[in-house]
Amino acid sequence: MSNTLLITRGKNWVEHTAMMQLKGLANLKGVVKAVGLPDLHAGKTPIGVAIVSEGIIYPHIIGNDIGCGMGLFNTGIERKRFKMDRWVTRLNHIRELADLETVNPYDEQSPIYDLGTIGSGNHFAEFQVLQEVFDPAEFEKLNISKDDLLLLIHSGSRGYGQSILREFSDPQGYLVGSMEAKCYLKKHRTALLWAERNRIVVANKLIDYLGYASQAATVIDCKHNFLEQKDHLFIHRKGAVSAEVGAVVIPGSRGSLTYIVRPTDKVEESAYSLSHGAGRKWARSLCKSRIRDKYDRDTIRETKLKSWIVCHDADLLFEEAPEAYKNIDMVIESLLEFGLIKIVAALKPVLTYKG
DNA sequence: ATGTGC
């Protein structure tokens, strides 16, 4: 009997390569269940998976960016204070976030050497506003209102996670109870802590840089690259979030809505996991040639939702274009069809910043 | 993904 499950509905396209990669992980020693979430796509290891194992752990499934995730913050800034032209100009002045002074508000020294940076690739900082409330009772628990300017930070443990993976990169995995497994789990825990702290530090740095005295209040923080022990099992989540820690934020691309959802009590089926986003549709290397002719240097920066992106990396603008991602609605509908979520609210991007 | 590999 197969130990593999793909959570998807008819219209949600999932590439064959990613499915093969998922089956590869399902066949690893000690793997008891392998779940592909609707945003499953191919990578060095597949992204959008929850892999449950017994007696052995596989750090390479988690990958280099241990603790990477989405932090949704209430900026304490009123939505009406947002002025597109002024904010774009101001953010354009940042060459790199590393150039701005970072204050480490924690007692310990950060193992992330460049704390306060978001990194590159698919990482971003995005100002958002409330678009629609679907479940008023659940929405009320979030402590946000239609007047609030929100900030979504996608980042992780930067070079620190990378250094941990280098130490524990054996694709054969490590036996639970071994010195190596214990050591990995300890460092992994530190990476999770500091990846979350990094999201908070970045959020506050941007709020401060834009001239506001308020502090970022965490609405939701959900990591999507991590290993969780559950009873005698280990759940490897790579591009997947836990469905057991309250509301979850599932963003689309910079040109689509972000959903706040509430997991249901049926999530055992998906290894207590949900999608982390829309998922890539196009490989990075294909993006530029496919859409270059459609845009000029300005129009590539605006979206259907009238949001804008500040980004000094010309290639990244194409690699991270909305077209490169799947339709978030297909992902959400797949999760709904399997009875795994209820939609709480939708947010709309207004301004994205990328490294 | 990456205080980036050749």
Tens of pLDDT, residues A20-60 = 999 999 999 999 999 999 999 999 999 999 999 999 999 99
Provide mean pLDDT across the span A1-20: 91
- CA→C1' distance for A266 and B4 (Å): 42
pTM of the model: 0.97
pLDDT at A339 over 90: yes
- A244 pLDDT band, cuts 50/70/90, is very high
Is A232 annotated among the ligand-binding residues? no
**Would residue A16 show up in a list of annotated catalytic residues for this protein?**
no
Whether the Cβ atoms of residue A313 and residue A355 lie closer than 8 Å to each other: yes
Quote the pLDDT of residue A296: 87
What was the pLDDT predicted at A297? Answer: 85
- Single-letter amino acid code for the residue at A17: T
Across the range A239-263, mean pLDDT stands at: 97
Average pLDDT on A93-122 reads 94
Q: Are A80 and A153 in contact (CB under 8 A)?
A: no
Reported for A334-337, long-range contacts at CB under 8 A and 24+ positions apart, including other chains, are A334/A7, A334/A8, A334/A9, A334/A12, A334/A38, A335/A7, A335/A37, A335/A38, A335/A261, A335/A274, A335/A275, A337/A9
pLDDT of A58 reads 98
What is the distance of C-alpha A158 from the center of its chain? Answer: 14
Lookup: nucleotide whose C1' is closest to A44 CA: B1
Q: CA of A162 vs C1' of B2, distance in Å?
A: 7
CA of A20 to C1' of B5 (A): 28
What is the reported pLDDT for A352? 98
Q: Is the pLDDT of residue A231 over 80?
A: yes
pLDDT band at A79 (very low <50, low <70, confident <90, very high): very high
pLDDT grade for A184, boundaries at 50, 70 and 90: very high
pLDDT tier for residue A1 given thresholds of 50, 70 and 90:
low
What is the maximum alpha-carbon separation in chain A? 59
Nucleotide lying nearest to A118, CA to C1' measure:
B1
Alpha helices in chain A (DSSP H): 16-26, 59-62, 84-92, 136-140, 158-167, 179-209, 284-291, 314-319, 328-337
As ranges, strand B nucleotides with an atom below 7 A of a protein CB are: 1-4
Q: Which domains does chain A have, with CATH numbers?
A: 4-354 (3.90.1860.10)
Confidence grade of residue A355 (pLDDT, cut at 50, 70, 90): confident
Residue A159 has pLDDT above 80, yes or no: yes
A10: confidence class by pLDDT, cuts 50, 70, 90: confident
Print burial letters for A195-234: b (CB count within 10 Å at least 16), e (below 16): bbbbbbbbbbbbbbebebeeebbebbbbbbbbbbeeeebb
A179 contacts: CB under 8 Å, gap ≥ 6 = none
pLDDT at A267: 97
pLDDT-derived band at A132, boundaries 50, 70, 90: very high
A93, A236, A276, A312: the catalytic one is A276
Instruction: Report CA(A108)–C1'(B4) in Å, whole number.
Output: 28
Residues lining strand B, beta carbon within 7 angstroms: A 64-65, 113-114, 119-123, 155-156, 158-159, 162-163, 355
Residue A312 known to bind ligand: no
Determine the nucleotide nearest to A162 by Cα–C1' distance.
Answer: B2
φ and ψ of A132, to 5 deg: -160, 145
Q: Is A93 annotated as a binding residue?
A: no
CA–CA distance, A40 with A18 (Å, rounded to integer): 7
DSSP of A95-127, one letter per residue? S-GGGS-----SSSPPSSTTTT---STT-EEEE
Tell me: is residue A122 an annotated ligand-binding position. Answer: yes
Buried b (16+ CB within 10 A) or exposed e, A7-18: bbeeebebbeeb
How far is A309 from A351, CA to CA, in rounded Å? 6
pLDDT for residue A11 = 84
What is the pLDDT at residue A165? 97
Share of chain A above pLDDT 90, in %: 94
Residue A34 assigned ligand-binding role: no
pLDDT at A311 exceeding the cut of 90 = yes
Distance of A72 CA from B3 C1′ (whole Å):
26
